[in-house]
Amino acid sequence: MQYAFIITKIDSYLSESGGELFCLNVIDHQERTVSLYGVADQQINIQALKGQVLPVVMLSDHVDLPITEKVTIPPTALVSIVPIAANAIDGVLAAGKAEDILQSLSLKSC
């Protein structure tokens, strides 16, 4: 299953367990915290998101369920950024059409 999020803000970046576990906390358009986890030798998901101009549409093939006000994405998930300009996403958010952009990608937001 594919999960879609509109990421609007980077909240924090943490290193845990003596540098063996890494976590990038971001906020989505629904004000939920989305935590992307990485390990010492696999941080591609974290680095891919840290380098983006926000907001972005982010896809993940795996999240730890249940999805509530905090979503966890494990280091083994495949995360990608949809190539849509940040100012275009800003316009969609300002118009209150966040679900439309997710549906236009033929995805169901979580």
Tell me the pLDDT tens digit for each residue of 12-35. 999 877 778 899 999 999 999 999
Interatomic CA distance for residues 42 and 34, integer angstroms: 18
Interatomic CA distance for residues 26 and 50, integer angstroms: 10
Is there a contact between 65 and 77 (Cβ–Cβ < 8 Å)? no
State the pTM of this model: 0.88
Q: What domains sit in the chain, N to C, each tagged with a CATH number?
A: 3-104 (2.40.50)
Q: 108 pLDDT exceeds 60? A: no
Tell me the pLDDT tens digit for each residue of 37-52. 999 888 999 999 998 9
106 confidence band (pLDDT: 50, 70, 90):
low
**Separation in Å, CA 39 to CA 2, 17, 22, 73, 80:** 22, 10, 6, 12, 18
